[in-house]
Chain A
Amino acid sequence: MQKAHARRKSTHWGPYLKDNWQLYVMLLVPVAFVIIFKYAAYPGLRIAFMNYKPAKGYAGSDWVGMQIFEKIFKDKDFLRALKNSLVFNFLDLLVGFPVPIILALLLNELRFQRYKKLSQTILYLPHFLSWVIIASVALNLFKPQTGLVNILMMNAGWIDQGVPFLTEKWHWAVTYLLIGVWQNMGWGSIIYLAAITGISPDLYEAATIDGAGRLRKIWNVTLPCIRGTMVTLLIMNLGRVMGSNFERLDSFGNVQVKEFQYQLAIYIYEKGLAGGNFSRATAVGLFQSLVGLLLVLTSDRVSKALGEDGLL
């Protein structure tokens, strides 16, 4: 930073550009790219304030001010989608946040090195599979009649009828959340393992001399040392509670669980692209983006105020 300031004072644009014009030529490509494929979509946001008819286009549709927004906030479907998105994202965070930390602590305590490497490789695998594959796997395990888990439980005599893991909304909610945790646990642990690697061995040695056992050391050395990482990630994730992952919801969706599966991404797709109600879907998307942006900015502030790294 200081260097940059010092240089700025003595800028002579002629010689500067003569040396560095190529940097701007390079940047032209990515900048043009985001303008054409991303920024050019922003003007389309105006249909959230119009009664947009796809057949008539922008010019033929009427401006209606905030009417669409007034409508969506009275729309039961939207309110349900909003509630589901918030509840499920919050639950995702509640259930999913501690697991990678615990896994990282366990992996770090694991003393058989080859076994550790191998299990890490295996645990990272679900992160690389698409939601379609994960949902297909889930079907093979959890279908009421033919799923492996149900077959095994029936053979063991624990249940008479298959458990509707994926076809009854409450069972679905639990299955959906746990599969989310499972998919992310290994990969999520990497960042904590990296933080743990950075802890000075002196701290552990000092703790050992003080007579601390394994649990004591985890509690008094490891956890305090990765606190920063935990706080940053927690805040980052809080900033995302408005988002929803279309592919995950779509892959696990079916008629019986619609009530819970109906979240913002599904609402936008079904009302908008499938249902042709472009204005309403755009308004919901805009609302989602704005709240999301606000949350990210807030979490960045909070993170910095706490003395941790910001996100931006």
Chain B
Amino acid sequence: MSTAAPAEKKASLFKGVNRVRVSDFVIAFVILILSLTCIIPFLHIAAKSISSNTAVLSKRVYLLPVDINFEAYNSIFRDGQLTHSMLYTIWMTFLFTAIGMVITILAAYPLARRELKGRALFAFILMFTMYFSAGLIPEYLLYKDLRLLNTMWVLVLPLSFSPYNMLIMRSFIRSTIPDSLYEAANLDGADHFQILFRIVLPLSKPILATLALFYAVGRWNAYADAKYYITTKALQPLQYLLSNMVLNSGQDAISLSEAAAQESTPEVLQAAVVMFATIPIMLVYPFVQKYFVQGTMIGAVKG
């Protein structure tokens, strides 16, 4: 008879509903408004991107497209610059993620083992750079000496190890794999590589998926390093290209680009460019979202 306690509500899908109160609707309404702020902007841009120039310029496009046409997308594909950049960015992100995962695993497993002597020292070495970075210029000079400037590798290598992700993986291994499993493996004569590949990695699949996604999304979205280290146009990742096309790199005023938009780059094309870069994330997002939440929870518990 009593109202279900909040913690129990999770279990019951419709149990609480027979005692719905006004406050339930108020809360649902507030959440609805907040959710809409995350959807409507994209609906608007999507609508713009498939509307006619005249409809957009006369400000008749709100959430639904007017005079539907795909001209803007056609010109993106005809131009080829963005499609090339997207394929390049996918390849670069893939390499980045693969390298990042290998390094993360090779750091997390030893640090998760209590046997390892000097654990504190190694953890310190690997994590110190997270708290004290040398800064932009020394790193720029270093990558210059390493001949990385203006190559794809400057985007792939320097950032591809994240101490934070390593910590998440370490706590996952510590909390999911009991010592008894290691002992059993030891008795069978397994060495550390065998334990890693045959026991730890198969049991860590969810966290491996999560971290791979952390790496991939982080790389996909970042563009500051491209702005710092890359001047060759063909090597610029999609987000940087987008910032040059739509935001003018923050160099020119927004009002300027707005005036220019009416002449050379129509609003519609800009909207299509934004959608072009957003759609890939939107497509995978619903499927990978739960892995992200998991990863954050483990990260929150911390090792």
Chain A positions within 8 Å of B, measured between CB atoms, are 3-4, 8, 11, 16, 19-20, 22-24, 26-27, 29-31, 33-34, 36-45, 47, 103, 106-116, 118-119, 121-126, 128-133, 135-137, 139-141, 143-146, 148, 151-152, 166-167, 182, 185-187, 190-191, 194, 196-197, 199-201, 204-205, 208, 214, 217, 222, 229, 246-247, 250-256, 261, 268-269, 272-273, 278, 281-282, 285-286, 288-290, 292-293, 296, 309
Contact = CB atoms under 8 A, between A and B. Distances in A.
A214 to B, nearest CB: 6
B223 A132 contact: yes
Interface of B: 2-3, 5-10, 13, 16-17, 20, 23-24, 27-28, 30-32, 34-35, 37-39, 41-42, 44-45, 48, 56, 59, 62, 102-104, 106-107, 109-111, 113-117, 122, 125-126, 129, 131-142, 146, 157-158, 161, 166, 191-193, 196, 217, 220-224, 227-228, 239-240, 242-243, 246-247, 249-250, 252-255, 258, 261, 267, 270-271, 274, 277-278, 281-282, 285-286, 289, 292-293, 296-297, 300, 302
B6 A140 contact: no
Nearest to A286: B135
A292 B56 CA distance: 47
Contacts of B125: 31, 34
Contact of B5 (A39, A205, A255): A205
B41 A107 contact: no
A29 B106 contact: yes
B100 to A, nearest CB: 10
Query: Interface of chain B, helix or strand or loop or mixed?
Result: helix
A20 B289 contact: no
Nearest to A122: B35
Contacts of A115: 28, 31
B31 A119 contact: yes
Contacts of B285: 125, 128
A185 to B, nearest CB: 7
